[in-house]
Amino acid sequence: MHRPHSTPKRTPLTVFRGLSLPQQAPNSSGAVDEVSAGGIVMNFETPTLDVAVIGRLNRARRLEWCLPKGHPEGREDLQAAAVREIAEETGILGEILQPLGSIDYWFSASGRRIHKTVHHYLLQAVGGILTTENDPDHEAVEVAWIPLRDLGARLSFPNERRIADHARAVLPQYL
């Protein structure tokens, strides 16, 4: 089935075990494979179990709410990249509790087809204050604490809502 370049490919949520993957690599089709890491950083001290999310402007300049994520830098592993990216994009320092799985999708940018895999973790907030001021790429234009019960309604993308559902399923072991 042919999909328009702007429509993300739907794929099942997969669980991963690896910690380090290359950031970009051309694949056999000529597309570029990219890897990112991020996740759900939760404030366990609030009764509503708030989650830090970011707002980004899409190409049409509409605000899309999503989970913080980004590319590993240098030889950084996925866990370190997730902690750093969440801190940069939200201002919140987190400690990883467990992997939540990965999602992948296709998009086009600068005339290239890109296949992106994003590895997500569940993190406990341990410090910081909400801010987008530390985002070096200035991709995050808004940041907010969202009660866990409202997270699915706030997130713009179905694949990230599936990650949120998985986080809710594993959460009881941390309460």
Q: Which of 5, 3, 2, 24 minimizes the C-alpha distance to 117?
A: 24
Mean of the per-residue pLDDT values of the chain: 87
pLDDT level of residue 109 (50, 70, 90 thresholds): confident
Report the sign of the C-alpha dihedral through residues 67, 43, 74, 25, in that order: negative
Mean pLDDT of 4-20: 39
pLDDT score recorded for residue 21: 41
Q: Cite the DSSP H helix spans in the chain.
A: 78-90, 151-154, 158-170
The answer to whether the beta carbons of residues 38 and 120 sit under 8 Å apart is yes
pLDDT-based confidence at 72, cuts 50/70/90? very high
User: Which pLDDT belongs to residue 29?
Assistant: 67
User: Per-residue pLDDT for 76 more than 70?
Assistant: yes
CB proximity list for 92: less than 8 A, separation 6 or greater: 41, 52, 86, 125, 127, 128, 129, 130
pLDDT tens-digit readout, 128-153 = 999 999 999 899 999 999 999 999 99
Q: Strand, helix or coil at 18? A: coil
Query: In degrees rounded to 5, what are phi and psi of residue 159?
Result: -65, -35
pLDDT for 16 equals 40
Cα(142)–Cα(124) distance, integer angstroms = 21
Q: Which tokens is 1 given?
A: 């089935």
pLDDT tens across 16-68, in order?
A: 433 444 445 555 567 899 999 999 999 999 999 999 999 999 989 999 999 99
